[in-house]
Structure 1
Amino acid sequence: MKATNIYFYSLFIIMMSCNKPENKLQVEVFETSAQGNKLTKVSEFPFTEKRVTIKLIPEQTFQTISGFGGAFTESSAYLLNKLSQKNRDTILKAYFAKEGANYSLTRTHMNSCDFSLSQYSYTPVEGDKNLEHFTIEEDKDDLIPMIKDAMAVSEDGFNIFASPWTAAPWMKDNNHWVGGKLLPEYYDTWALFFSKYVDAYETEGIPIWGFTVENEPHGNGNNWESMHFSPKEMTDFVQFHLGPKLEADGYGDKIILGYDQNRAGLKEWVDEMYRDEASSKYFHGTAIHWYESTYDYFPEALQYAHHKAPNKYLIETEGCVDSEVPKWQDDAWYWSKEATDWGWDWASEEDKHLHPKYAPVNRYARDIIGCLNNWVDGWVDWNMVLDRQGGPNWFKNWCVAPVIVDPDADQVYFTPIYYTMAHFSKYIRPNAKIIGLKNSDDKLMATAAQNPDGSIAVILFNEFESPKTVTLILNEKNVEITIDAQAIQTIVIHKV
């Protein structure tokens, strides 16, 4: 008999011997499923032939969680302002209230991005090296009110980090919104830009937790706002300009996350960012996106990045269902393998295999669990709200958001992606610790975290067509639950 079989046989014997009421694990179970559950509390668990054993190992701890959430974009904020006050409040409470998803980590853009109504910069005056004309006036109609209203709703509060897509064209070698590089003569000006941004936003009453240095430094195919950095160029900018400037201006506590693009390039970036103590000093962590593949979460790259800098953040800062127009009020689509991403049409032949059709819920659940099991400590979705077209987006780069609205009809649709995100954000809180577990079924994805209040959240994802009965074991106690076919489930153990 194999060692693993002996192990789980032994667990079975232990379970039989202690299967008494006093040894039953007390849990609450919440499920979202293709059958129609939406973060629904379930208490009846029909027996199934497919059996799984999961043993929690709370004494084995991994990374500390920084949070889960989404991004404040001008497009999302603009749409909220077009809805009735009732629906606007409903959406903000769904994302930020304790009874909702209770988002704890969020992102926004500095200057415009593709999910803006137009292209704009906080530095409109050409040659203004000292940024005497710096202004965030463009954000005051939509973006800043959305953030402030979210802050008012959030009882626990949330951190916000900001990302630039590009400097103003006059600072770049191609004098254009798209592509090009920051001219060396403006490195100090661009560092000042970050400091001015913190000052302006905090004057508005919005504390800034940190930054990513540049959204997608490899560029985006020269389609919308972008600015290119090599690993060395970004590291030099942070080490010799941005880090010292923030420090000098009293903002040395602001988090700086390097890279901020797909995972396949992680090795060369973290090798450069953490090349020595002088550069590592200013990088607090690494930011990543998920667009390299619709199913592969690149565990080897994540492991490498963590072990290169084990005491730094490793945060997924952007992911969405891209190259798709949202399906309006069609829950089934989010569970079926009909979605495609940009790579379905445009990936090179050698990379086509990374971009098959996929179910949107699967993509989210697989990636978040895969990330948590490979040292990622935060996971941030892209737009919180988009319209039925997947915009507004000035480049017509349509995408899907967890909440879709029809502003003309004042209607709101909470997609299954919203509930998928909430399974993590609501039940795994900041400063939780990912804990160890042993899982007898490699087809059932599982992760677990112990929260600061002592509770444990176990999250399961069954993407297949058959339900499974799971025996969950913690210390000398156990409980049997059943997870439906095509379902994500959060099991909360309140008393350990």
Structure 2
Amino acid sequence: MKSLSKYFFSFLLITLFMSCSKEQKQLKVELYETSASGNKLTKITEFLPEENKGSIKLIPEETYQTITGFGGSFTESTAYLLNQLSKSNRDKIIQAYFGEEGAKYSLTRTHMNSCDFSLSNYSYAPVEDDKSLEHFSIKEDKDDIIPMIKEAMAVSKDGFKILSSPWTAPPWMKDNKSWVGGKLLPEYYNTWALFFSKYVEAYKAEGIDIWGFTVENEPLGNGNNWESMHYTPEEMTNFVKDYLGPKLEEDGHEVKILGYDQNREHLKHWVDVMFKDEASSKYYDGTAIHWYASTYDYFPEELQYAHNKSPNKHLIQSEACVDAEIPRWKNDTWYWKKEATDWGWDWAPEQDKHYHPKYAPVNRYARDIIGCLNNWVDGWIDWNMVLDKQGGPNWFKNWCVAPVIVDIENDEVYFTPLYYTLMHFSKYIRPEAKIIGLENSDKELMVTAAHNPDGSIAVILFNEGEKTKSFDLFLNNTSKEITINAQAIQTIVIPKS
């Protein structure tokens, strides 16, 4: 009897040990989902496993690029609209983008001089032939853009970087004397470089630091529609090498310079010129890109090529939006349907039509950001943070969609599914995070993962299909069975162990 008790006690200990071991191997996670079925960054705690599970294995020791940040843009249109809202709604939007409970944007963009998302054409240097820029002034920004930036700074605990881009030099500096198209006249190269330096100083006087510049928004032009100025890769590189870089250095401005700043299909040629040799590369801190070349293709080959050409420099997505569309007011379903399209559906050349099928806005954002992160992009910036029900204001009537839409007449705010989609990345992948390796057995799921500075790991998935999927998530010797809904984006946070 004593022997039986001994065996029973041993069996109990073994069972208890196995139970504890099993518990130790359970991966602890927090999970948030946005879905066509109605979730909006909703915390998920229960899963209903599906058959034919896949597997995702994280490989934290395999590291890639360091993240600079995620965010959106301070345009005059956005800032003007905020000025038309009640203080409570204005504060709500600022908190939603920059507060601790919100998207915690960490990388932003704004425009130097006017752009299409301005109320009118304007320049900080309006006086003709003012080569020394004695009349330079940023007063146009003091009613809207600058107050919005300051309010964002006040609520942002970690702060954020600002990337500034000119759409054009003032017409008097250009060969066609127009806001649209044309080129910078060589006699004004020094003046235009001085313009950048004065802009940094003027914003610093307002208490705002500029992190970086792109040399020119869309140097290939925009079809002669709104503010633009053209460069070839050689012209831009010569301007940076001989004028802009030396001037910023001479004036003591430690500010980043990003070249190109347009669509990815031409990326290879531009980086070949920009990073041809040490002299051409010296003042470039990286490359900026846009996504308008395709509704669905994120051009991984071009991104890989650009990284390999300059592996120690930034590769930043500086602008993206659903363009040539009027947003749907309080219609979440529309953002998950293939009814929204872009300019290319109607206007792209025949040889490029296949890049522009009808494509759901959420799909476009989720696919592009994950695709970028898996191909060396270290920062991703959306375009306007806020637009009205028309998709403006825009002086050219180039209507677009923003993550937050407002009705200023009735003082109403609508957070679209795009807001929550972006928040999956900006809130949970923080600056200085490292993208890490992974193995994914289900090719219908898009997945990326990042190891944050605080030790946590964020895994972001996108299930574009119309079927719920289950998978086992593995990290070292731990695992967790997880389910993702159909048409859903999901962030899994693994706390520091």
TM-score range, shorter chain: over 0.9
Choose the corresponding residue for 1:48, options 45, 50, 56: 50
In the TM superposition, what whole-angstrom CA distance separates every residue of 1:312-348 from its partner, at most 9, and x where no partner exists? 0000000000010000000000001111100000111
Choose the corresponding residue for 1:118, options 106, 117, 120: 120
Deviation at 1:50, TM superposition (A): 4.1
Give distance in 2, aligned partners of 1:150 and 1:298: 33
Which residues of 2 match residues 1-400 of structure 1 at below 5 A? 20-251=22-253, 253-400=254-401
SS at 2:150 equivalent: helix
In the TM superposition, what whole-angstrom CA distance separates every residue of 1:337-384 from its partner, at most 9, and x where no partner exists? 111100000111111000000000000000000000000000000000
Deviation at 1:52, TM superposition (A): 1.4
Q: What are the ranges of 5 or more consecutive residues in structure 2 without an aligned counterpart?
A: 1-17
Q: Is the 8 A contact 1:434 1:450 kept in 2?
A: yes
Q: Is the 8 A contact 1:385 1:402 kept in 2?
A: yes
In the TM superposition, what whole-angstrom CA distance separates every residue of 1:231-256 from its partner, at most 9, and x where no partner exists? 000000000000000000001x2000
Task: Tell whether 2:438 aligns with 1:443.
Answer: no
Give distance in 1, aligned partners of 2:19 and 2:468: 26
Deviation at 1:47, TM superposition (A): 1.3
SS at 1:20 equivalent: helix
Give distance in 2, aligned partners of 1:132 and 1:273: 32
SS at 2:472 equivalent: strand
In the TM superposition, what whole-angstrom CA distance separates every residue of 1:400-441 from its partner, at most 9, and x where no partner exists? 000000001000000000000000000000000000000001
Give distance in 1, aligned partners of 2:453 and 2:155: 22
TM-score, structure 1 as length reference: 0.96
SS at 1:399 equivalent: coil
Opposite residue 37 of structure 2, the aligned amino acid is Q
Give distance in 2, aligned partners of 1:19 and 1:406: 56
Give distance in 2, aligned partners of 1:387 and 1:377: 30
Q: Is the 8 A contact 1:314 1:375 kept in 2?
A: yes
Give distance in 2, aligned partners of 1:305 and 1:17: 50
SS at 2:279 equivalent: helix
Opposite residue 461 of structure 1, the aligned amino acid is F
Q: Which residue of 1 aligns with 2:408?
A: 407
Q: Percent of pairs identical after alignment? A: 75
Give distance in 2, aligned partners of 1:246 and 1:18: 61
SS at 2:159 equivalent: coil
Opposite residue 52 of structure 1, the aligned amino acid is G
Give distance in 2, aligned partners of 1:79 and 1:19: 57
Give distance in 2, aligned partners of 1:18 and 1:486: 37
Q: Is the 8 A contact 2:49 2:481 kept in 1?
A: no
Runs of 4+ that moved beyond 4 A:
16-19
TM-score, structure 2 as length reference: 0.96
Q: Is the 8 A contact 1:72 1:383 kept in 2?
A: yes
Deviation at 1:186, TM superposition (A): 0.2
Q: Is the 8 A contact 2:81 2:408 kept in 1?
A: yes
Opposite residue 403 of structure 1, the aligned amino acid is V
Q: Which residue of 1 aligns with 2:5?
A: none
Deviation at 1:495, TM superposition (A): 2.1
Deviation at 1:22, TM superposition (A): 1.3
Whichever of the two has the greater Rg, that structure is: 2
Q: Is the 8 A contact 1:18 1:476 kept in 2?
A: no
Q: Superposition RMSD on alpha carbons, in Å? A: 1.1
SS at 1:386 equivalent: strand
Opposite residue 23 of structure 1, the aligned amino acid is K
Q: Is the 8 A contact 1:73 1:115 kept in 2?
A: yes
